[in-house]
Amino acid sequence: MDPELEALLKSYDAFMEARGGSNEGQLFALYQSRLDDVAAARRLGRETLDAAVRTKYPRWIRAGHHPSSLPPKA
Amino acid sequence: MRPRFEPRPGGLAHAFVGGQMLDLADSGGHCLVVNGTAILLEPSHPGLAGEKAGQELVCYWLDRCDDFMDRQRKNLIEREPSPRELAEHIDSLKFMIRVTLSLQALVADPDSPARRFAREMSGKLLQLQASLELFLNPMTDAEADTVLAAAFPNGSGT
């Protein structure tokens, strides 16, 4: 899998797996920031890429990808 | 195991979690999370029953939201739900969002003592709304695969 796509999926997963309320906003902002960067670099519509990542996400989880940590943003 | 709270003279507080006492002196009344459980710290000024009730309600709801997200992960994301399970979950999600929006209004009130929980409530609302978008996402698997294959020629498959 492309490392940038995997980083996007991990960012989204980190947001969805956050608990307690303190970090959710920050993690969502990080996911959106990554999304903006990738969409711009790949000349894709941001909403289209977002929808594709979200559609991919459950299948990626079911395939056994359970990230142990969120990679730092480049 | 839910913690229990013990008021201390002078309005300070401590809590027992898993048999251990946490000293919460001068906490001022707040939530902390231990092993995924939202814990209400005793308000520093006992007698403010309204303040305590509001904080307990908010902490209770934050806890329920986390439980809901855990069940969602286990039953709807880690495995393929049936159409009926999905429909029921979407109904539940909408209810969770409605209640969280109501509580967000409570914590956004500038005079509310629960205002300190605004960030936490906002974070949970964001997560619940993103969950609804996830399950109502109209893009099909095939469409997503086409978009991702074009965007990531180095590999988009699992």
DSSP B31-81: EEEETTEEEEPPPSSTT-HHHHHHHHHHHHHHHHHHHHHHHHIIIIISSPP
Which chain B residue has the Cα nearest residue A2? B155
ipTM of the complex: 0.84
Task: Kindly list the distances between the CA atom of residue A69 and the CA atoms of A15, A43, A54, A64, B67, in Å, as whole numbers in the listed order.
Answer: 12, 28, 19, 15, 22
Q: Looking at the complex, report in whole angstroms how far the Cα of residue B80 sits from the nearest Cα belonging to chain A.
A: 8
Judge whether A1 is closer than 8 Å to chain B, CB to CB: yes
The answer to whether residue B4 sits within a structural domain is yes
**B158 assigned to some structural domain:** no
Same domain, B104 and B63: yes
B55 against A51, higher pLDDT: A51
Asked if residue B143 and residue B97 are part of one domain, the reply reads yes
The confidence score (pLDDT) of residue A1 equals 83
Domain match, B1 and B56 both: no
Mean pLDDT of the region B31-44: 60
Cβ–Cβ below 8 Å for B121 and A55? no
Domain enclosing residue B41, as ranges: 1-47
Between CA B19 and CA B132, with CA B55 as vertex, the angle to 5 degrees is: 100
Chain B within 8 Å of A52 (Cβ-Cβ)?
A: yes
Query: B118 and B69, same structural domain?
Result: yes
Asked if the structure places residue B116 within a domain, the reply is yes
Q: What pLDDT is stored for residue A33 in this prediction?
A: 97
Residue B29: which of B16, B9, B17, B11 has the closest Cα?
B11
d(CA B151, CA A53): 11
What is the pLDDT confidence band of residue B36, given thresholds at 50, 70 and 90? low
CA B154 from centroid of its chain's CA atoms: 37
pLDDT at B128: 97
**A2 inside 8 A of chain B by CB:** yes
Distance CA B140, CA A56 (A): 9
Q: Which two tokens stand for residue B42?
A: 């005793």
Tokens 């029953």 belong to residue: B49
Co-location of B107 and B143 in the same domain:
yes
Confidence label for A15 from pLDDT (cuts 50, 70 and 90): very high
Let me know whether B34 and B83 are in one domain: no
**B76 belongs to a structural domain:** yes
* Domains in chain B, number: 2
Range of lowest pLDDT (B116-120, B124-128, B130-134, B153-157): B153-157
Query: Do B3 and B66 belong together in one domain?
Result: no
Q: B123–A51: do the CB atoms touch at under 8 Å?
A: no
Percent share of chain A, pLDDT over 90: 74
Predicted TM-score (pTM) above 0.80: no
Question: Residue B28: what pLDDT?
Answer: 45
Beta strands per DSSP E along chain B: 4-7, 13-17, 20-23, 31-34, 37-40
Q: Does any domain span residue B89?
A: yes
A46 close contact with B: CB closer than 8 A: no
B71 domain residue, yes or no: yes
Are B12 and B24 contacting, i.e. CB atoms less than 8 angstroms apart? yes
Non-local (6+) Cβ contacts of B86 within 8 A are B76, B135
In terms of domains, do B25 and B80 share one? Answer: no
Are B33 and B84 within one domain? no
Grade residue A30 by pLDDT with cuts at 50, 70 and 90.
very high
- Residue B141 shares a structural domain with residue B124: yes
B149 contacts in A (CB within 8 Å)?
A: none
Task: Count the residues in chain B.
Answer: 158
In a domain, B29, yes or no: yes
Would residue B67 count as lying in a domain?
yes
Least CB–CB distance from A55: residue in B31, B123, B139: B139
Same domain membership, residue B32 and residue B1: yes
pLDDT for residue B103: 94
Would you call B48 helix, strand, or coil by DSSP?
coil
Same domain? For B55 and B34 the reply is: no
